[in-house]
Amino acid sequence: MGVLRKLLAWVSVPVICLIALVLYLARPFNPDNNRLLGAAVARIGRALLGMERPLEGRENMPQDRPTVVIANHQHNDDLFVMGDLLPPRTVTVGKSSLVWVPFFGQVFWLGGNVILNRGRSQKAVAVMQATSQAIARERKSLWVFPEGTRSRGRGLQKFKKGAFHAAVAAGAPITMVCAQEYRDQAVGWSGRRESVAIRILPPVETEGLSVEDIPQLMARCQKQMAQAIASL
């Protein structure tokens, strides 16, 4: 049953994306499309998986000003765990190969999301800095997995600098979304997915910080997230 649930959940993703293409084509590159799609994918996916998602700190997610959201990345199923937590007008960051995923890749591109070539780190930082201008000028929020790759539940990995460069350059707060460690496994005869708890931490302000402050800012955010994850 667990395998069937997972299969149905992931089959639902391209189907939802195909339907969403109508919305994306009607208003291409509108960043609020991503929030609506994320909510649909996550809620339908969790229903098919039979997954509960306890949430603490929803009030800490800014709704009336741009923010840079950072979250820990464990499995592909993070899409179902966190997809409905995007604040308004949010763009996300993904690797260039995502563009070729049927239907999902097309809505990802039409959502105005940031596409990075992970093999060119200097260019990636430059793209993040350019994105910071969109945060300030177009009042978009940015969602980033700062670890850059999936940890598979092995604890919080080393952060990359891009999201922090973007936040400091834009003077936008950093909002941390912390998911408890999970194993991507089904539980019991019904195949329901184990519960995954989420905690959203109060935003960390970056107004007045400079590039020289980024290492300390990264260390502060990583420490707070590690402590929150350990307590979930």
- What CATH number has the domain bearing residue 156? 3.40.1130.10
Domain region containing 68: 2-231
Quote the distance between the C-alpha of residue 103 and its chain's center.
19
Can you give the pLDDT of all 232 residues of the chain as single tens digits?
888 999 999 999 999 999 999 999 999 999 899 999 999 999 999 999 999 999 999 999 999 999 999 999 999 999 999 999 999 999 987 777 888 888 888 999 999 887 766 555 556 666 666 677 778 888 899 999 999 788 887 789 999 888 899 999 999 999 999 999 998 788 888 889 999 999 999 999 999 999 999 999 999 999 999 999 999 9
Asked whether 66 and 132 are in contact (CB, 8 A), the reply is no
Specify which residues 200 forms β-bridges with.
Answer: 177
Domain count along the chain:
1
Specify which residues 116 forms β-bridges with.
Answer: 95
